[in-house]
Structures are given as structure tokens and as C-alpha cells.
Structure 1
Amino acid sequence: MKHRLSHEIDNYPEPDDVGIIRVTARIFGQDDNSTFTALSLARDFIENDECTTKEDLNYFLLEAGINEDFIDNAILELIVYVDEVTCPASIEYSPGCALKVRLDLIPDYLDEDDDDSEVQEAAQASFDETISIRFRPASKLVVKSLTRKIYNKKIKKEKKKMISLEECRICLQEFSNGGMVVTLSCGHEFDEECIVKWFETSHVCPLCRLELPCQDEL
């Protein structure tokens, strides 16, 4: 048996879906009961060993008769995959998004050359609520004209520790004192480097639906 991982990101999720990961697993060559779907917070799925989603997925695969070693390997790769997609360095995912990850398990008897297209088609059909999003770069002129300021660190005292009040919601790092911060018209603020790189592939605010003019519209 082999497995494949793929994902889709929803930049415009419902409020209850923000930061949520939907894990969908399907075992091909079995009946309609071979599909599993569960929801979890993305960071909990990666960091929490007791995550209910992982436990339910493991149980589902065991019930389907999948080898335990294969299950352990598949879930480990799934965790690493989610971590890579949602890491602070990612330019396609932000905390304001929702993530859908698909784990396809394909028995060895399904010949890859003959059935690959059929498997791909079936996998796409089984991945419910697919959202097609067209990513377009924001206008370079508009990005250059965004409000910029030098950040002066604001801190508060809590149990004798100095805690920063603000951070960039793309890289999830505290703003650097003396660093350049960009403020969008919606009020959200980001490190200049992070948001400029973000707008190279997307024209919407990472945290809300504010749209900037696209490069191909000017």
C-alpha cells in the first residue's frame, strides 16, 4: 500500500473554521465507509500527542485492517506535512486561514499506470467542499504606497517578565524594536518583509477579506 498527501487552503473561512484543519482520509478499493473526516486546530494536531483527531484516524485505519507500522509512518508524515504547510515561513498559509489535508491510501493491487487518473478523479470527488481560489499578486505600486512606520516596542509587566504586546501575524514573531511595520487600511499590521512577500502572490489581507488592487488590474 502507498499513500499520498495533498492540501487546499481556504483564505475566506467561516469564523468557526479559522485556524482549523480538516483531515480527510480515504482508502481506495473499499466501500463507501472507507472515508474518514475529522476537525482539529492545526497547531494541536502537530504538537499535542493526545490530539483526538490523530487518535480517531489511527482507530479508523486499524479498523480497516491497515498494518500498524504503515499507519504510524503515514500519520507521522501527515504531521510533518501539516507542520510544513502551516509553519511561520509559509507564504500561502496564515493563522486566519482554514486548511484541508487529504490522505489517500492506495492498495498495491491498483496498478499505478492504468488507474492513476481514476484514483486522482475519485480522490478529488471525495474531498468535500472544495474551494477554488485564484491567487493574484497585489499591485506593486499600491504595496509601495502602504503606510509604514518604525516600530517602538510596547511591553507590559507580568509576574516580573517583560512581554511584548504585538507580533506579526504572518511569521508569528514579535515586532523588532526599530524595525519597519506596514499598516493596512483594515488596521492589521505586519513586518514589512513578510507582508511585501505575501502580496507577491495574494492581494488580500492575511487576516481579513480586505482586498488590494491586483497587479493585472492597473
Structure 2
Amino acid sequence: MRTNFDHEIDNNPQPEDAGTITVTATIFGDDDDFDTPYTTRSLSIQDFFGGGDENEDSECQIIQELKCFLQVEADIDEEVISDAMKKLVVYIDGVTCSTSSSGYSLGCALAVQLDLFPDSQSQIEEAVQVSFDETSYNTRFRPASKVVVKSLIRKVYKKKIEKESRNKNKKISLEECTICMEEFKDGGRLVPLACGHEFDEECVVKWLETSHVCPLCRYELPCEDQMS
């Protein structure tokens, strides 16, 4: 399982949110039980790094909550969780350090996104990880506009016979949805994006609830906050 990170900085938070951090974890995969994001309680950034804690080896509240979610609820291997938490701390340190160009300051509210991708989702993972240092870095995890998503064209898929199997001349199709990695079903509903890529309707609608970009090419749809 691989990890990916993103963040948003609120420069004008509510007084009670100033100087705090929250982490939202999402597990992408075939199991619908674990595709709902889990968000930790907020914690001061000093407490996240153990400021003022006599026990330097103690884990902060956020790390404890994430470990519990990943291990107990999602049954992820302890070594994988430990590696993800180490990377999370390094990422947050990079965002909040004094030499960072992220625009973060102690009075801001920081929201961090942690995404975990099973090995079977490697195609999606690679697309999400591409060019995070480019201008689209801070916008990848903004939901697409609900109005735009509803207006997307839906079409019924008709299976295209791509090649013939040697087993009793059975013909098979090679087309599949690159989100769920399953073959398109004859008569199923597909959603073609303007970039030309097509996905199962259910898969791409769920994807656009958290990210406004195409899973493969980063084509951007209008964001929810742009339409409000």
C-alpha cells in the first residue's frame, strides 16, 4: 500500500481553529466499507510535534486516532501503518517549518489529506502522485461541482469485441474502468469526460466527490467552491 499527501491552509480561521491541525485519511480500493474519509479531531500544531510533553516518545492524539482507524477499522498491517505515520510527520514538518514556501504560519489552520492506495490501484495512484509540485498541487482534492457532475453525459456501454480467445473461440472485451479496474459491463452506464477518458458512472461520481480532476490525465472540472 502506498501513501499520498496534500494539504490546505486556512489563513483566516475561526479563533478556536487558529494554530490547529486536522488530518483526513481515505483508503481507496474495491471495498466500499473503507472509501469514506476519516477526519481526526483538531490538535494544536505544537502538541502534534510533542511540544511541552515530557515523554518525547509518546504519540500525539492525531497519530493515535489514525492508527486506530487504519488498524482496527481497516485491518491494515502494522508495518504499513507505521511507515505511513512516519511519512505523515515528515510531510507536516515540511509544510510547517520556518523555511517552507507553503505559506503556512502559526496562526493558520492546517488540514492535511492522507490517501492510501492498495497495490491493485497503482494506475490511479500514479495519476494522483504526478507533478504535485506543479500549480495544481493545492487544488487536487477539491470536490467537483455537483451541478457539473449531474450535467455530465451518461451513455450506455455496448461491448466491443477486441479479440478472440483460443478457448472455444470465445470472444472477450479488453475495455475496463481504470478506477475500479473492472471490465465495462455490456449495458452499463459510462461517463465520458471532456478529456476523452471514460469511467463507470458510479466510480467517477464517487471520485469527483473528493477530487475535481480526471484520475488519468488531471483534466480539471469546475470546483464546488467556484460554483457557489
* TM-score, normalised via structure 2 length: 0.50
1:89 to 90, 99, 109: 99
The whole-number CA distance in structure 1 between the counterparts of 2:4 and 2:210 is: 10
1:67 to 77, 97, 100: 77
| 1:31 corresponding residue in structure 2 | 32
| 1:112 corresponding residue in structure 2 | 123
Q: Deviations over 1:99-128 (max 9, x none)?
A: 010000111122415339959645438xxx
Q: Deviations over 1:8-39 (max 9, x none)?
A: 10111111100111100011123355422112
The whole-number CA distance in structure 2 between the counterparts of 1:83 and 1:16 is: 22
Say what the alpha-carbon RMSD is for the aligned residues.
2.9
For 1:68, give the aligned amino acid: E
| 2:9 corresponding residue in structure 1 | 9
For 2:22, give the aligned amino acid: R
CA drift of 1:73 comes to: 0.5
CA drift of 1:45 comes to: 1.4
The whole-number CA distance in structure 1 between the counterparts of 2:76 and 2:99 is: 34
Matches within 5 A, 1:132-171: none
The whole-number CA distance in structure 1 between the counterparts of 2:208 and 2:119 is: 18
Decide whether the 8 Å contact of 1:42 with 1:82 is kept in 2: no
The whole-number CA distance in structure 2 between the counterparts of 1:94 and 1:4 is: 23
| 2:128 corresponding residue in structure 1 | none
Gap change, CA 1:12 and 1:132, over 3 Å in 2: farther
The whole-number CA distance in structure 2 between the counterparts of 1:76 and 1:3 is: 11
Structure 1 residue 54 corresponds to structure 2 residue 63: yes
Secondary structure of the structure 2 residue equivalent to 1:124: coil
CA drift of 1:90 comes to: 2.4
Matches within 5 A, 1:152-191: none
* TM-score, normalised via structure 1 length: 0.52
| 1:162 corresponding residue in structure 2 | none
Secondary structure of the structure 1 residue equivalent to 2:120: coil
| 2:113 corresponding residue in structure 1 | 102
For 1:115, give the aligned amino acid: I
* Structure 2, unaligned runs of 5 or more: 125-177, 181-196, 198-203, 213-222
Decide whether the 8 Å contact of 1:10 with 1:131 is kept in 2: no
For 1:98, give the aligned amino acid: A
Greater than 2 Å deviation, 4+ residue runs: 29-35, 46-50, 113-125, 130-133
CA drift of 1:43 comes to: 2.4
Secondary structure of the structure 2 residue equivalent to 1:3: strand
For 1:35, give the aligned amino acid: P
Per residue, is there more strand in 1 or in 2? 1
The whole-number CA distance in structure 2 between the counterparts of 1:83 and 1:124 is: 24
